[in-house]
Structure 1
Amino acid sequence: MTGYVHGQSYKMLQALREKMSGWIAIGIVMLLAIPFAFFGMEQYLFQSGASYVARVEAPPSWWRSAPDFWPVRKLAWNAETISVDDFRSAFEQRRQQTRIEMGDDYDPRAFEAIENRRRVAEGLVDQAVLRLAAQNRGIAVGDAQVAAQIQQIPAFQVDGQFNLERYQLALQTQVPAQTPRQFEAAVRESLEQSLIPVHVGESAFATASQVDRLLVLLGERRDVEFAIMPAPEPDSGPVGDDEIQAWYDAHPEDFRAPETVTIEYVEIDDSAVTVEDMPGEEELREAYASQRARFAGDEERLASHILIEVPADADEATAREAETRARELAAMAQAEGADFAALAREHSDDFGSAESGGDLDWVQPGAMVPEFEQALFEMEEGEVSDPVRTDFGWHILQLRDIRGGEEARPFEAVREELARELTGSARERAFSELVGAVVDQAYREPNSLEPAAAAGGVEVQTAGPFARGEGEGVIAHPAVQRAAFTESLIEDGTVSDPIEVDTNHSVLIRVVGHTPERARPLDEVREEVIAAVRQDRSARRVAAAADAIVERVAQGEEFSAIAGEEGLAVQQVPDVPRGTPIPHPEAVDAYFAAEVPEEGGASAGQVQLEDGSIVVFAVTGVTPGNPEEAMAQERELLRQQLTMLAGNESVAAVLRALRERMKITVIEAQL
């Protein structure tokens, strides 16, 4: 029977396949596409194989109310896609920033958390949203704005002024290297993306009345009476089994044993390195001869240039046209009586130097690209070159002056300096060779540190068990701690890579024991639970006494009289300003959080401090701040701060509104 059913099913499917061809099939697919469009089924059809991290889609400027139906969105909406490479690049940049900010506290495992990846992805989505919004509103940035922005970047400045050499060198040292045109395109895109939030933020303002209200609050002073109830002594009463069990069950996180590891490790530092042979006379003289230039003043050349830019993607005709133009300008500049500066101002494509007549200031060796530098340092003073080709285009150079290149300091004057440098270099080489020998042996036999230790002439040491944050000496170093609790080292039991803990000081470790975090059984922590119960009893008793004082003040009794009955010393402090630690910053925060008392009354409260003591207080008077006492500089500073806060809130609101009008798809599987 089963075979018959399968056979009939096959025949039915075969017949359906034969009929599903031509216009009939197309019609059926189109009909099926309609409900898919309305109910979002295209996500199943198209996103399962998505190769991007996120996609942002926005209605076109000519149809802002375009419906969010798939066929309409596919055909009419504008879209920006955030590729996997874009995300990885942004995530790596964020990694580097975090590593710099946190220093030794940086934890690579924690940084890899999905929450961090989501934050980076959302930041890229926000940028895409702003770019689409700018495109749909026809926002464009001109060349002058791009040039002004680049000239303001500190990395391209020398003594506060834009420097073409620094600019070109910085672009060449990028990974990958960038041409000026590529960098300008990136700056243009960034400016277009930022125009909406910048202008929205700049539109914010703070009124004089807002500043006055803030000055009233900031300048407010309060008359306070307070007393300190000392931290309670632990209760000594009996604790029953039911109470012990209830406390243990209610506070499981308080009674957990932390994860611990036991490690073997070897330390390698340059104290194990000996450099027996001091550099000889011949070696010193060879070093002097090879480095003679560093002991002489560098020759510098005062130069100007005219740049005829050739785009990186220029076709052959465009490149020939640029070369022809460059040769014509070179002939004009080489003519007798020619004004090179005027020609540069009129014809140069280098906006950074054109306004100053092509002036590049003093050029040192290594500051320019090789073709440019070679031509410049082969010229005679006053000479104008033929066109020189670089990645930036064609340059016509003018050498205006030469300075430097003095005679080098004599060998005897730098002999000791060279000897120290050569000895230091020899020690560093020996240390590197020692580390290399140890690491090579560790790679050959990764399940034991003994062979590696023998190769380095050091002993294997043991530490632990210890938890995160514990240990002494090199064991306490953050990098060693991170490695010791790395999942791969714990599971494999292999020797780690060398961990640098200081200059010429490295450590290799191997995890030989591991105990996961665990709940400690009640029998093990029974005495701790009893102590916690008794401490809680005492704390609640003192807190109840403090509550009673606050309640009696609320009913109209005088604070000082009540505190005297309790044997507490009362301090009266008039005109307490914000931020004054009397007796503690948390207490002052509580004073100003209390209700304003009625005339002749008091507003009481309490705050528990970290040491377990409790400050009970009564606010008996409030004096508002006087805006007229504020200096003009203080008012202006507050106005700027309020304006900035209002601007940030406005930008956030605009970004939320823009996101709501767009369709945003994030593929978390690609993060």
Structure 2
Amino acid sequence: MLMDKLREGAQGRGAKIVFWLIILSFSLAGVGSYLNRPADTSPAKVNDQPITAQEFDQAYQSERGRMQQQFGESFAELADNPEYVRQMRQAVLDRLINQLAVDQQAREAKIRIGDQQIKDTIRAMPEFQKDGQFNNELYLNLLSQARLDPNSFSESIRNQLLQQTWASSLTGTDFVLPSEVTLIDKLLQQTRDAQLYTVPVAHFQKTVSVTDAELETYYKANSNQFRSQEQVNVNFVELDAAALAANIKVEDRELRDYYEQHIDQYRTAERRQVAHILISDKDAAVAEKQAETVLTQLKGGADFAALAKEFSSDKLSARNGGELDWFERGVMDPEFEKAAFALSKPGELSAVVKSQFGLHIIKLVGVQPEHERPFDEVKADVLAKLKADKARDLFIDQQQKLSELAFENPDSLDVVSESMGLKLQQSGLMTTSTAKAPFDDAKLKQQAFAENLRDTNANSEVITVGEGKAYVLHILEHKPAMVRPLADVKADVEAAVKLQKAQVEAEKQAATLLSKLNNGEDVSALVKELDVKVESKTGISRTGATLVGTLLNELFRMPHPAADKPVRKLVAMPEGDQVILVLNKVTDTDQPSAAKSMLQTQLAQGRMIASQAALLQQARDAATIEYNPLFNSQPVSE
């Protein structure tokens, strides 16, 4: 009966309306979820071409790595500043935008960069060379540290070469006029004769008086100058991987097992040296005919080096008889490499080999077979690596134990110290500016001054520093920053007020002295009264060290003096002294300097750099750039 009534209710008009409202709500929810799917995550677009989130993240992580290498442990403190991170992210994005804008213009100009040019550029980079030769293992290790893979790195080199070629094609016609070089050379050789009247602020510091009211007023207006810094005293224990490694014993059997398990680390891949003759011509038939002719001559006993110098399009290797550097597999063009490694004995010739660069005839010069370094030769290296591996594992285990003990006994580090045999150390009262090792590390310093550790009176979590040290801290004492009482800093306040008043008086008296000099009056009495230092200097040059930078810059900004009418100028020095510069004479020379030829090169380089910067700006201005408004809220993997 009950079920029948329910069935009847479900067939009523009201139930149907409710039913369709439910269906509609689900439909709209579905549509809403579809419409509200994550939007385009690309941080920006340049002429509708996106810079992908992956590209940005890779560039950002590479920049972080570079900054960490540059600033070391202090980078952690910078990275904790949200505004610094925001600016760094924006700088990385702007660089990617610039690169893409230039890349687009270069590609529109039909500029192409070949794979061999990229390989040659990478192999020539000193970062990847060991003992003057390209080292593939070093190359891969450095890319790994920078979070790059070979393909993406090669593509970045391609883009750089593309942009450089494009920029060079447009700025290669820049030149510097001989008259410009002559004028600048003349200006650099120009010398000036001057007199200096230095009105010392120290003279007035001895004579100015200060009232208690002035002290009180200055103290209140500048109270932040007299704040004591926050201080803490910290207990800590240190876990050191190097100390653990020193106590690790390794059996000879373990060394041999490690050597056999990691034999690839002690194996040198097969390398070959070849000579080649490269035949290239726009007409493929002509090139092929010439290559076959040269090969026939070689088979008939002709000298390979002589034919390389005569016919090879690779002029660099041709000068050396066609010989190339030693190489292993995976470096050269695939077809070239296949043919080179198919040769079996020195002096053997290949058939004509076609690659993307043209037609090659290859002669095997030498073979360095795969070589395994014997155990006895690398035993010391194996021992160091095995001990490092064991120390790393032990360090991780001890670090876990340290974390557990510090958490289970939060009130002090006594139990931690006793249980793990770690020395309990104390920092003594320190400020953020006086902290010494190990608290000069940003992460440790931050935890030492962390408010939550003070409030809970608990041990810190384990703090790792570098790859081999870990610490736990416990704050013993805290002294907050506060404005020191006037009575404690009265001498400092008095000195500051005296200096301020002395600077005003020195400027006033220097102005009076300048007025008298301009009016041609005798100033000897005033000079003596004010302890003015008078100096005469001749032959002052722009590049000399005769004057401090502030005075030197001002002196060479002053106009040339007229006959018997020196030019004078009052200059306030940073420490409070007032200096009257008197320019008496300007001496020019028409004789070229020994550096004139170098100057022309420097000016040309400077102009080229300025032109390239202008081209970059032009490419950016011409592009339509769209920023993703969600860019700064998108997460970036750390």
Instruction: Give me the whole-angstrom Cα distance separating, in 1, the residues matched to 2:209 and 2:113.
Output: 82
How has the CA–CA distance of structure 1 residues 658 and 462 changed in structure 2, closer, same or farther, with 3 Å as cutoff?
Answer: same
Alignment of 1:602 with 2:566, yes or no, is: yes
The alignment of Structure 1 onto Structure 2 pairs a total of residues equal to: 556
Tell me if the contact between 2:238 and 2:471 (Cα under 8 Å) persists in the aligned partners.
yes
Which residue is equivalent to 2:503?
539
Identity in percent: 19
Tell me if the contact between 1:130 and 1:193 (Cα under 8 Å) persists in the aligned partners.
yes
Alignment of 1:217 with 2:183, yes or no, is: no
Q: 1:121 aligns with which of 93, 113, 136?
A: 93
Instruction: Give me the whole-angstrom Cα distance separating, in 2, the residues matched to 1:377 and 1:593.
Output: 69
Which residue is equivalent to 2:404?
444
Deviations 1:80-126 (A, max 9, x none): 21122222211222222223333455343359532222222111122
Tell me if the contact between 2:403 and 2:462 (Cα under 8 Å) persists in the aligned partners.
no
Instruction: Give me the whole-angstrom Cα distance separating, in 2, the residues matched to 1:636 and 1:46.
Output: 66
Deviations 1:6-29 (A, max 9, x none): xxxxxxxx9xx9xxxxxxxxxxxx
Instruction: Give me the whole-angstrom Cα distance separating, in 1, the residues matched to 2:149 and 2:361.
Output: 23
Tell me if the contact between 2:102 and 2:620 (Cα under 8 Å) persists in the aligned partners.
no
Alignment of 1:648 with 2:609, yes or no, is: yes
DSSP-derived class of the 1:629 partner: coil
Tell me if the contact between 1:104 and 1:478 (Cα under 8 Å) persists in the aligned partners.
yes
Tell me if the contact between 2:101 and 2:620 (Cα under 8 Å) persists in the aligned partners.
yes
Deviations 1:199-241 (A, max 9, x none): 3433332222222222232122111122444452366634344
Deviation of 1:656 (Å): 3.5
Tell me if the contact between 1:235 and 1:537 (Cα under 8 Å) persists in the aligned partners.
no
Tell me if the contact between 1:267 and 1:507 (Cα under 8 Å) persists in the aligned partners.
yes
Which residue is equivalent to 1:82?
51
Alignment of 1:498 with 2:467, yes or no, is: no
Instruction: Give me the whole-angstrom Cα distance separating, in 1, the residues matched to 2:596 and 2:230.
Output: 54
Tell me if the contact between 1:260 and 1:515 (Cα under 8 Å) persists in the aligned partners.
yes
Tell me if the contact between 2:128 and 2:134 (Cα under 8 Å) persists in the aligned partners.
no
Which residue is equivalent to 1:469?
433
Tell me if the contact between 2:275 and 2:362 (Cα under 8 Å) persists in the aligned partners.
yes
How has the CA–CA distance of structure 1 residues 198 and 511 changed in structure 2, closer, same or farther, with 3 Å as cutoff?
Answer: farther
Which residue is equivalent to 1:91?
60
Flag structure 2 segments of 5+ consecutive residues without an equivalent.
1-20, 25-34, 279-291, 309-313, 352-359, 633-638
Which residue is equivalent to 1:638?
599
Letter in 1 for 2:61: E
Alignment of 1:201 with 2:165, yes or no, is: no
Letter in 2 for 1:212: T
Which residue is equivalent to 1:556?
520
Deviation of 1:646 (Å): 3.0
Which residue is equivalent to 2:592?
629
Which residue is equivalent to 1:52?
42
Instruction: Give me the whole-angstrom Cα distance separating, in 1, the residues matched to 2:631 and 2:539.
Output: 59
Instruction: Give me the whole-angstrom Cα distance separating, in 2, the residues matched to 1:277 and 1:52.
Output: 53
Instruction: Give me the whole-angstrom Cα distance separating, in 1, the residues matched to 2:604 and 2:342.
Output: 57
Deviations 1:616-637 (A, max 9, x none): 43222122x3242323xx2232
Instruction: Give me the whole-angstrom Cα distance separating, in 1, the residues matched to 2:244 and 2:591.
Output: 71
Tell me if the contact between 1:265 and 1:509 (Cα under 8 Å) persists in the aligned partners.
yes
Deviations 1:605-652 (A, max 9, x none): 3445555544443222122x3242323xx2232223333333333333
DSSP-derived class of the 1:494 partner: coil
How has the CA–CA distance of structure 1 residues 103 and 530 changed in structure 2, closer, same or farther, with 3 Å as cutoff?
Answer: same
DSSP-derived class of the 2:626 partner: strand
Flag structure 1 segments of 5+ consecutive residues without an equivalent.
1-13, 18-44, 58-78, 308-328, 345-349, 387-394
Instruction: Give me the whole-angstrom Cα distance separating, in 2, the residues matched to 1:154 and 1:558.
Output: 74
How has the CA–CA distance of structure 1 residues 277 and 87 changed in structure 2, closer, same or farther, with 3 Å as cutoff?
Answer: closer
How has the CA–CA distance of structure 1 residues 481 and 305 changed in structure 2, closer, same or farther, with 3 Å as cutoff?
Answer: farther
Deviations 1:532-557 (A, max 9, x none): 22221123222322232233323334
Which residue is equivalent to 2:554?
590
How has the CA–CA distance of structure 1 residues 593 and 558 changed in structure 2, closer, same or farther, with 3 Å as cutoff?
Answer: farther
How has the CA–CA distance of structure 1 residues 513 and 56 changed in structure 2, closer, same or farther, with 3 Å as cutoff?
Answer: farther
TM-score by length of 1: 0.64
Which residue is equivalent to 2:624?
663
Tell me if the contact between 2:191 and 2:539 (Cα under 8 Å) persists in the aligned partners.
yes
Tell me if the contact between 1:244 and 1:530 (Cα under 8 Å) persists in the aligned partners.
no
DSSP-derived class of the 2:110 partner: coil
Instruction: Give me the whole-angstrom Cα distance separating, in 1, the residues matched to 2:341 and 2:520.
Output: 92
Alignment of 1:245 with 2:205, yes or no, is: no
Q: In angstroms, what is the RMSD of aligned CA positions?
A: 5.8
Tell me if the contact between 2:238 and 2:422 (Cα under 8 Å) persists in the aligned partners.
yes
Tell me if the contact between 2:42 and 2:50 (Cα under 8 Å) persists in the aligned partners.
yes
Tell me if the contact between 1:239 and 1:530 (Cα under 8 Å) persists in the aligned partners.
no
Tell me if the contact between 1:248 and 1:529 (Cα under 8 Å) persists in the aligned partners.
no
Deviations 1:299-334 (A, max 9, x none): 765568999xxxxxxxxxxxxxxxxxxxxx9xx99x
Letter in 2 for 1:641: Q
Instruction: Give me the whole-angstrom Cα distance separating, in 2, the residues matched to 1:483 and 1:306.
Output: 66
Alignment of 1:233-632 (within 5 A): 233=205, 237-241=209-213, 244-245=216-217, 248-249=220-221, 251=222, 253-258=224-229, 260-269=231-240, 270-271=242-243, 275=247, 301-302=272-273, 362=326, 381=345, 401-402=366-367, 418=379, 424=384, 428=388, 431-432=391-392, 434-445=394-405, 447=407, 448=410, 450=413, 452-477=416-441, 480-481=444-445, 484=448, 494-500=460-466, 506-510=469-473, 512=475, 520=483, 527=490, 528-557=492-521, 563-564=527-528, 566-582=530-546, 584-609=548-573, 612-623=576-587, 625-631=588-594
Tell me if the contact between 2:195 and 2:581 (Cα under 8 Å) persists in the aligned partners.
yes
Q: 2:71 aligns with which of 97, 102, 105?
A: 102
Instruction: Give me the whole-angstrom Cα distance separating, in 2, the residues matched to 1:92 and 1:544.
Output: 56
DSSP-derived class of the 1:598 partner: coil
Instruction: Give me the whole-angstrom Cα distance separating, in 2, the residues matched to 1:353 and 1:617.
Output: 63
